[in-house]
Structure 1
Amino acid sequence: MPDSEINFSYSNVVIPEEITEEILCYLPVNSLLRFKCVSKRWRSFISSEYFTKRHLSKSHSDKKDNGNKFIFSFKGKQNSLTTRFLSVGSSFSLDEDEPIVTTSLDIQIRPRSEIQVVESCNGLVLVENIYTGHLICWNPSTRKTKHIEKPFGFGFGCVEEEGGYGFGYNELTDEYKVVRVRYKEYYETRTHAHMYSSKAGSWKEIEDLDKHLAGRPGKFVNGRPHWLIFGRSPDWEIVALDLVEEKYETVDWPVCFPKVNMFPPYLENTGGYLTLMDCNSYANAMSVWVMTQYGAPESWTKIWTFPNSFNLPIEHVCRSPTPPLCLKRNGDVVVALGSVIVAYNGENLLRWSQVDKFDRFIGSISYVESLVSPFGSDEILVSPASWMMTI
C-alpha cells in the first residue's frame, strides 16, 4: 500500500491496514460505495486509482465468478420503444424454487432507435445508439457514464453505418480505446477505421483493413479487439487489432470447425478466452469452441454442444445479430430466448426462468463489477430508483 494511506480503526480496536485493504478488495461495489460515507479517509482510499486497480484484479481472478454479471437486453412488451437492460448475477442459485435475482438497468431511447451493447472491459460497458451513432461508456456498478461523440463524417441510418465497434484497454499506456470500423459501400472489401483514445479524448483515423468485417461488435481478448471477417462458408477468418502498434493480425481458425453452415458463427470472450459459437441450423444445435492457449491454433477445443432437446428456436438464435447466450468461467451457459432465461452446463438443463415485463430478447454481454470510472467519467450518477439514462 502507498505510504500516503493510513490505518483504519474502529473504536479502540486498530485493524492493520493490510488486513482492511484485503477485506475491502473482496467486497462488492455497492458495499464499497456505501463505505465511502464512513469517513473522508475511507472515501479517499476507496476512490483511489491504487484501490480501484487492486479491486479489479481481485474481481478478474475470482474463480467462483462472484463478481461477474450478465446484461440481457430486451424489448418491452406491446412494441415498446424502450430497450430494457437486465443485470443477472452469474452465481445465481440452481434451486428452481428460488427466483433469479435481477436488477433493472433501463435506458430510455428516442423513437425509431435501437440500442446495442457493444462490449465490456474492466467493468465498463460500451453502448451504442444505432440511430444516432452516439456512444456511452457506462459502469453499471457505479452508474457513472461518459458520452462519446461519433467520429466526424460518420452518418447514421444508412449503409455507412455498416461495420461495428471494438472496445479495449491498453495496459502499456493505461488508456481505453474505442475502434469504429465501417465500409463506405455495402460490397466494398476494404474496411475503414477510426480510433478513440480516452487520454486524447478524440478520434483519429488508423490503418484500413483490406477485408470486409462482419457487422458485429469486436471481442476484447489478450489485449486486442477481435472481429469476424465476413466471407462465404468456410472462408470466415478472425482478425485482431494490436492497440499498441495499431496493426492488424490474423488469428488461426480451428482446423476441425464445421465447414458447412448457412449462418456465420459468433465470436465471444469467455473468461478471457477467445471463443467461437457455431450456430448449426442443419443439425439444429449450437456448439462452443475455445482457444485455450491464445495464438496456438492446435489449442482450439470444442467444450460442448447445446442440443435442441429443449425445443428452443435454434434458427431464430442463428439469425440474431448478437449471441443470445453468455458463458460462465466454469463452462456453464446462460441463454436468453424470447422472455426466458435458461441455464445449461453442457449436459443438463439447470434453470428455466420467465422474465416478467419483457417479451423479446435482443442482446447479451457479460461484465465484471468494478470501480473503474468511464474514461475519467462525466461524473453522472443515474437515479438509483430506475437507473435510467437518455441517449
Structure 2
Amino acid sequence: MAKLPTDINMDILSRLPVKCLLRFKCVSKSFCSLLDSQEFIKIHLKRSIETNSNLSLILSGTPASILPSSCYWDGKIFSASLDSLNLGVELDHPFKNCKGETLMIDSCNGLIALQNDENDIALWNPATKEHVMFPEFWSDLKDNVYVVFDGFGYDAVNDDYKVVRLIQFGTESVEYTEVDVYSLRTNSWRRIRVDFPYYSPRPWNGTFADGHVHWLVTNNPEDDIANLIVAFDLKSEEFHEVPLPHLENRNEVLVMFVGTLSGRLYFCCLYDHSRPVNVWVMKESWTEAFSIPRRVGDYVKPLSYSKSGGKILMDNCEYAEDEDDIDIWELFWYDLQNQRAAADQVTIHGVPQGWRDTIVCVDSLVSLAAYAGSGVAGREGRMS
C-alpha cells in the first residue's frame, strides 16, 4: 500500500474499523502520520456516519445511589458493538476510580462527555482511550443553585467541541438562569449573556443534532410537562425555539423526550399502555417517522437504525413492582416494515441488570490532543 497514491490509501483505510487502524500505526512512520492526519480522521468519520457503521452501544448505570441496581454497576461503563450486541466490554473511563456518581451527558463524533458529581466533566474517546479533564468550575457557584443541566456537541464552523451548561438559581423555584460555555480549543469556561426565560420540568441533559443542543422546556414555571424545545446554536451561541409536533392530548402525555437517530433530532412521547409510542423526526419540519405498540415496559426509547434502515433498536424497561427488586431492562430490534419485534430480545452478556443509561457512539479517531494540545489528560484550564 505504501506505493499507492495517498488518496487511494485513504479510501481503503477509511473503510476499516478503528481497532484495526490503531494497530496499523505500528506498521511504519508514514502509516502513523497518515492515520493521525486531520484529513484522514475526518474522512474516516464521515464514511462511518454515512454508512451507519462502526457504531457502539455505550451503557452505564444511572447515578442514583438509592436505586437497588446501582451497586451492580459500581461506576462501570460498558461497550458493545452494534453489529453483534452479544458481549459487553468494560471500559476504562476517566472517572472509573473516582468517588461520586458518573453519568454520560451526550456523544458526538466518537467523543463522550462524562460528568462526575465530585470531579465535574471530562471529554473522552473510548476508542482511542484519550481524554481531557475540564478546568474546575464549581468553586464559584452560589449555594442557591436550583438545578444544573448540560449539553455537548460540535461547532463545525469553528471546528470546536463545546459543552454548554445551564445553571438555574433559586431556592424553591427558578429565579434566573446562567449560561456557560466550555471550548475544547481554549480548554476554558466562559459565561455568556443571553436571555433564557424557560424552565425545565425534568432537568435532563441536552441532545445534540444539526449543530444545536436541544432541551425540552416550558415557558410557564407552573407546568409539569414541556411545551416546546429550546435549541442552542453552538456557532452563534444563541437560543431559538423549536415547536413540538402537534399532539392531540398533550396533558395526557406521561413522558416526552428528545434524542438523535442517524444524526437527526427526534421527539418521542409515551401515553398510557393502551396507546402506541409515537416518534417524530426533524427534517425540514417534524415528520412522524414510526409508531410502535407499547410493550409491557414502562419506558421505551429508540436508539439506532440498523445498517439497512429497516429495523430500529429499542431500549425497553419494566419497572419493578417492589422497590427492593431490580428493574427489568431489555433491548430488541423492531421491524419497521412489518411493524413487529424482529426477533427475540437482545442479550448483551457481561452487562449488569437494572436501571441504566444508553447512548450510541460512533468509533472514531478524533484526537482531543489535536484540539487542546498534547498531554490533555489533567491539563489545567481557566475560568474567564
Task: Give the TM-score of the pair, scaled to structure 2.
Answer: 0.81
Partner of 2:65 in structure 1? none
Deviations 1:33-70 (A, max 9, x none): 000000011111101111111111111111xx222222
Q: Distance in 2 between matches of 1:148 and 1:234?
A: 32
> Corresponding residue for 1:292?
283
Distance 1:225 1:72 in 2: 21
Q: Kindly tell me the number of residue pairs found equivalent between the two proteins.
A: 345
Q: How many Å separate the matches in 2 of 1:328 and 1:180?
A: 29
1:357 Cα deviation (Å)? 5.1
Shift of 1:140: 1.0
| Counterpart for residue 352 of structure 1 | 345
CA separation in 2, counterparts of 1:171 and 1:212?
28
- Contact map agreement 1:221 1:273 (CA 8 A) in 2: yes
Tell me which residue corresponds to 2:313.
Answer: 333
Distance 1:72 1:161 in 2: 28
The question of 1:89 aligning with 2:81 is answered: yes
Whether 1:371 aligns to 2:365 is yes
Following superposition, the deviation at residue 328 of structure 1 comes to 2.1
Q: Deviations over 1:233-277 (max 9, x none)?
A: 665210111122211100121124641335341110111111112
Which runs of structure 2 are paired with 1:278-289 in the superposition (5 Å)? 278-281=269-272, 283=274, 285-289=276-280
Moved more, 253-262 or 362-371: 253-262
The corresponding residue for 1:342 is: 332
Which region of structure 1 is more displaced relative to structure 2, 102-111 or 162-171?
A: 102-111
Cα distance in 2 for partners of 1:115, 1:50 equals: 33
Distance 1:164 1:261 in 2: 26
- Output the amino acid matched with 2:304: L
Q: 2:355 — aligned with what?
A: 361
What is the root-mean-square deviation of aligned Cα atoms in Å? 2.8
Aligned with residue 190 of structure 2, among 192, 200, 204: 204
Q: For the residues of structure 1 that align with 2:91 and 2:198, how far apart are their CA atoms?
A: 36
Matches within 5 A, 1:130-209: 131-132=117-118, 134-153=120-139, 160=145, 162-185=147-170, 186-188=172-174, 190-206=176-192, 207-209=194-196
Relative distance call for 1:53 and 1:357 in structure 2 (3 A) is closer
Share of identical aligned residues, percent? Answer: 24
Q: 1:81–1:303: structure 2 CA closer, same or farther, 3 Å change rule?
A: closer
2:263 & 2:73 partners in 1: Cα distance?
34
Match of 2:90?
Answer: 104
Q: Deviations over 1:199-246 (max 9, x none)?
A: 221111112411113411111111111111046366521011112221
Q: Which SS does the other structure have where 2:76 is aligned?
A: strand
Match of 1:227 in 2: 215
Using the TM superposition, give the Cα deviation of residue 91 of structure 1 relative to its aligned residue in structure 2, in angstroms. Answer: 2.5
- 1:226 maps to a residue whose letter is H
**5+ residue gaps, structure 1:** 1-7, 93-98, 318-322, 382-391
The whole-number CA distance in structure 2 between the counterparts of 1:377 and 1:141 is 19
| TM-score of the aligned structures, taking structure 1 as reference length | 0.79
SS of 1:183's partner is strand
CA contact (8 A) 1:344 1:351 kept: no
Look up the match of 1:96.
none
Instruction: Give the corresponding residue for 2:254.
Output: 263
Q: Which residue of 1 aligns with 2:230?
A: 239
Query: Deviation of residue 336 (structure 1)?
Result: 5.2
Pairing 1:45–2:63 present:
no
Q: Residues 373 and 261 (structure 1 numbering): CA distance in 2 closer, same or farther, change over 3 Å? A: farther
Aligned amino acid, residue 136 of structure 1: A
3-state SS of the aligned residue for 1:101?
coil
Residue in structure 1 matched with residue 294 of structure 2 by the alignment? 307
- Once the two structures are TM-superposed, the CA of residue 279 in structure 1 deviates from its matched residue by 2.1
2: CA distance between counterparts of 1:77 and 1:210? 37
Rounded to whole Å, the distance in 2 between the matches of 1:135 and 1:168 is 14
Distance in structure 2 (CA, Å) of the matches to 1:102 and 1:358 = 10
- Distance in 2 (CA, whole Å) between partners of 1:378 and 1:341 is 39
Q: From the superposition, tell whether residues 220 and 360 of structure 1 become closer, same or farther in structure 2 (CA, over 3 Å).
A: same
